Structure 1
């Protein structure tokens, strides 16, 4: 069976294909995406920070937070590649190299590194701070060198947040230089128009370009078809699960607080008791594995 990295690279080699990655932030949202047949997942850094730490995406998550979360998601189904946020690499060149090695060991198929300062913020917030280009190139070079050192593959995605602060030409130049060093995919964060998106894809070709589809952010809305037509080869949806979960749980919390009951929330998942919810997370496969190994705990079901 091809490895997750090999599968991701094969997808990127198909110029007629766009890789659609729903953003997941925990085991349940990852299972839901997997059960709906997505061929690649994206672990959102903002979602990881909020779900693990209960804090905003302001550079507070550590390598350990992100690696452990990515490893759990990546290994739910090894047939499906995971692309994960790696922020700034969490330090200088040595730390970026360690991050790369740790992500490889965790089973991550691809990850993106950015050029914000270590105390970063979400790419769709204002007043981001950008490191000098030589610092950014050292991050990319460290990731490439670490990949070579361990002799195992991972797709390196060069992300730049320089568009807002330095302008289009400087941002594209940074991505081109990152590609020369060995980055596999280009990620121009904070694209502000569809015309700019098309120009970037054309300038960076034949390198695959990633679109960060954050509805409500600074980037205009693209459908998958529109993104593919523009020239993107990967589209990620960081808020894919965050928005729906926030709205649904907020409504349930409000109902329970105000009425002393959660009947409407329960009605929305009618027929989904504990057993059915566990099925979403692999109960059937776990039972079958135990029986095949000679276990008897689940012979009569649950």
Structure 2
């Protein structure tokens, strides 16, 4: 099955998909190794990991696509790519969707923010007019229907500026245009989350950012409300950054740091050294005597 068809099959099941988000090939491999069936390349985390900058539209289309390709090459589970605003007008959106499909992504997220976009839980967010937002999703769907083997995850950030009703109206139109998954960003209460799921058809995604505006509900609660996917965009990056800072502080102080570190044999195994040695064993030129 293609990545897109694998994701379609997952969405057809009567269960919530818990989706930790990755930021590079290694984090994606760890997600797969721990048994999760789906990941999302978080734009926030990818920008931080690749260019050391905040998620404010600073990464180019080419950089994002390259990051996505590295991730899909490293894992066998479906990967959703963050296509931001599509990097231009409707024709750019079509090219972006085709590019992510060729890179092996199972789905691509396209949103209605003004470019350059901003993280959904930070200040300064603005959305484009309805007609431009609809054109983006229409173009994305046209690219999919024109041969790109990929699902369309349509996102609206209208809740921040224009309220929940406008956000739901936009998402409903996205569904009418043919989007496969709907994402209303940053609802502020459980009641708002329930209203979104009751009002909108098809698969809906919840974005659970620890410390963000949306309530951090359990997977069971999210499924009961009606969500199909629960995304955790910063859990791995926040954990990794905390561990790295603490380790650096211990190193600077000359203190023991072994409790902070993954043991060498497990590190080698998770990165893939053992697999490499096993697969290269039949080839004499790959061995070093």
TM range (shorter): over 0.9
What TM-score, normalized by structure 1, do the two folds share? Answer: 0.91
Quote the residue 1:192 is aligned against.
188
Q: Distance in 1 between matches of 2:286 and 2:92?
A: 45
Quote the residue 2:3 is aligned against.
4
1:280 and 2:270 aligned: yes
Aligned-partner SS, 1:120: coil
**Over aligned residues, Cα RMSD in angstroms?**
1.6
Quote the residue 2:279 is aligned against.
289
Deviation at 1:144, TM superposition (A): 1.1
Quote the residue 1:263 is aligned against.
256
Aligned-partner SS, 2:286: coil
Q: Distance in 2 between matches of 1:185 and 1:36?
A: 25
1:117 and 2:114 aligned: yes
**Alpha carbons 1:26, 1:69 under 8 Å: kept:** yes
Q: Distance in 2 between matches of 1:155 and 1:262?
A: 49
Q: Distance in 2 between matches of 1:269 and 1:48?
A: 23
Gaps of 5+ in 1: none
Deviation at 1:298, TM superposition (A): 4.1
1:98 and 2:90 aligned: no
1:226 and 2:221 aligned: yes
**Which one of the candidate residues 51, 54, 59 is aligned to 1:56?**
54
Q: Distance in 2 between matches of 1:153 and 1:55?
A: 31
Quote the residue 2:31 is aligned against.
33
**Alpha carbons 1:58, 1:120 under 8 Å: kept:** yes
Q: Distance in 2 between matches of 1:298 and 1:39?
A: 34
Deviation at 1:126, TM superposition (A): 2.2
Aligned-partner SS, 2:6: helix
Where do 1:67-106 residues align within 5 Å? 67-78=65-76, 80-106=77-103
What do residues 211-250 of structure 1 show as CA deviations (whole Å, max 9, x unaligned)?
0001111101111111111100011100121111111111
Residues paired across the two proteins, number: 289
Deviation at 1:262, TM superposition (A): 5.3
* Structure 1 residues 283 and 190: alpha-carbon distance in aligned structure 2, compared to 1, 3 A threshold: same
Gaps of 5+ in 2: none
**Alpha carbons 1:5, 1:154 under 8 Å: kept:** yes
Deviation at 1:287, TM superposition (A): 2.1
**Alpha carbons 2:243, 2:260 under 8 Å: kept:** no
What TM-score, normalized by structure 2, do the two folds share? Answer: 0.95
